[in-house]
Amino acid sequence: MRRFATLLLAGTIAVSALATAAYAENPMVGGAAMFANKTIVDNAVNSKDHTTLVAAVKAAGLVETLQGAGPFTVFAPTNEAFAALPAGTVETLLKPENKDKLVKILTCHVIGAKAMAADVVSMAKADGGTHKVKTVGGCELSLKADGGKVTVTDENGNVANVTIADVEQSNGVIHVIDKVLLPKM
């Protein structure tokens, strides 16, 4: 009986170690573990660096969409990226009367496919250094890979750097960026 208990304990420890290793590959975001078996929204709500994004997604009514099957690639701006917008912009966008504009901005951060950083690098290289892609919101983004860094340029020429890449989700991938991407209005 004692030997069985020892084997059971060893097995439990091994399974626990495997479970930890399965999630160890995903980078931490905003001080929180990101789990590959959770959706984009389920993980984002735990990131202290993405509270503004989560509030915007809720205000825009996009929670259900981003919890859907996907796959999605989300370029997720940090709170600092939103704070860098002109004063009052975020507060104005969160008002119910600006929901359509908010939806447009947020969906211009989403691609309807799963594109890991290596995919972006390959696509950019194949296209001479820059790969253009349409977003769910109908915007065109320019993805560029240079010297191991990936950047995303919106329709207005604003360049966002990918600061944390390849945060796998059950319904896609998140790449953390340092600027808010804006559609031409």
Q: What pLDDT was estimated at residue 155?
A: 94
- Within a domain: 182: no
Distance CA 151, CA 91 (A): 27
116: its two tokens? 């890991």
- Within a domain: 31: yes
Find where tokens 């984009």 sit: 40
Domain membership of residue 65 as a residue range: 2-177
- Within a domain: 10: yes
Residue 82 has pLDDT above 60, yes or no: yes
Q: What pLDDT was estimated at residue 97?
A: 93
Cα-based distances in Å from 28 to 16, 43, 145, 156, 170: 19, 10, 22, 30, 16
Q: What pLDDT was estimated at residue 181?
A: 94
For residues 20-26, give the mean pLDDT. 52
Q: Please say whether the dihedral angle defined by the alpha carbons of residues 134, 137, 139 and 141, taken in this order, is positive or negative.
A: negative
Q: Please say whether the dihedral angle defined by the alpha carbons of residues 140, 52, 62 and 102, taken in this order, is positive or negative.
A: negative
Distance CA 59, CA 61 (A): 5
Question: Which of 31-35, 41-45, 76-80 comes out lowest in average pLDDT?
Answer: 31-35
Q: What is the CATH number of the domain that holds 112?
A: 2.30.180.10
- The answer to whether 163 and 178 have CB atoms below 8 angstroms apart is yes
* 146 φ/ψ sector (left φ>0, alpha ψ -120 to 50, else beta): beta
Residue 154 has pLDDT above 80, yes or no: yes
Question: Which of 4-18, 31-45, 55-69, 98-112 comes out lowest in average pLDDT?
Answer: 4-18
For residues 8-16, give the mean pLDDT. 34
- Within a domain: 72: yes
Model pLDDT for residues 34-64, shown as the tens digit of each residue: 888 888 888 888 888 888 888 888 888 888 8
